[in-house]
Amino acid sequence: MPTDQALIDLLISEFQTQNLGSMTSAAMNDRYEAFIWLLAIRAARQEGATVSLQNVGGLPATSPVLRTSPGVIYSLNQNYTHAVIAFPGKPELEAHLGVQIDAKSGVAHEADVAVLDRAEAILCRENSVNPRYFSALIIAECKYYSTPLPLGLSRNFIGLSREMRALDCFFVANQDSTNVSKVLAYDRSHFRTLVLPSTSPAENLLHQFRAKYNHFKALY
């Protein structure tokens, strides 16, 4: 289990800055979501993307402001940071933390980590609306527990997957549970447990993200 400082050190190293704002005092589950967000960014880079950090106004984010509570993509409460992902000759993408996405039912659901079509994200900020589920390439539900995972998490994730597009949704957790894994495997869900910095499950998840980007590049 990583210490509080271990995940902060990882963020500092990635962003080359000591100023992480509220993330330095955030709960471990918020830091964990930021770690999974980093994996989505790293996967894009490894697939050949250029990644830059921007704030909600579209300007370079020199000191990242990462969400520690769910909100809307167009929020101006703080100058929140997102990552712009650009593959040569392909539509641009954005990677976000804790934004709401309108599902098939029309109900908004929080995505702990979301990689979205950038054109859709810009339109949403301009018009103060949520991104639509089909604009997502990756939606990660992130769970950080100090005890084995409760079974209800698997049922909740399956419900979320059906509200979005199941092929875009990933269940990610630092702990494991035989029953949770069994339910998700039976449902053919994307899931990865025991995901922590510098572990093989983290590398495996990174490769799953890379596969999503590779498929995206092939389509466009």
Average of pLDDT values for 193-215? 95
Q: What domains can be seen in the chain, in order of their start residue?
A: 4-219 (3.40.91)
pTM of the entire predicted model: 0.91
- pLDDT at 83 > cutoff 80: yes
Nearest to 44 by CA among 193, 207, 203: 207
**Ordered DSSP codes for 100-166:** EEE-TTS-EEEEEEEEEEHHHHHHHHHHT-PPBGGGEEEEEEEE--SSPPPTHHHHHHHHHHHHS-G
Tokens 């005092």 locate to 25
CB-based burial, 74-103: b 16+ in 10 Å, e otherwise: beeeebbbbbbbbbeebeebbbbbbbbbbb
Tokens describing residue 205: 């998840």
Contacts of 200 (CB under 8 A, 6+ apart): none
Tell me: pLDDT of 207 over 90: yes
User: pLDDT at position 16, please?
Assistant: 55
Sign of CA dihedral 69, 166, 47, 52: negative
Among 66-80, 108-122, 132-146, 174-188, name the one with the lowest average pLDDT. Answer: 66-80
- 63, pLDDT greater than 90: no
Band the pLDDT of 10: cuts 50, 70, 90.
low
Q: Is pLDDT above 50 for 169?
A: yes
Predicted local confidence at residue 24, as pLDDT: 54
Q: Which residue has the higher pLDDT, 128 or 16?
A: 128
Mean pLDDT of 182-205: 95
| Residue spans of beta strands (DSSP E) within 29-90 | 50-55, 81-86
Q: Which of 190-194, 197-201, 207-211 has the lowest mean pLDDT?
A: 197-201
Q: Is the pLDDT of residue 22 over 60?
A: no
User: What value does the mean pLDDT of the chain take?
Assistant: 90
* Residue 163 identity: E
Residue 155 has pLDDT above 50, yes or no: yes
Q: In the predicted model, is pLDDT for residue 90 greater than 50?
A: yes
For the residues 30-35, what does the mean pLDDT come to?
87
Rounded to whole angstroms, the Cα distance separating 10 from 213 reads: 23
pLDDT (0 to 100) of residue 1? 44
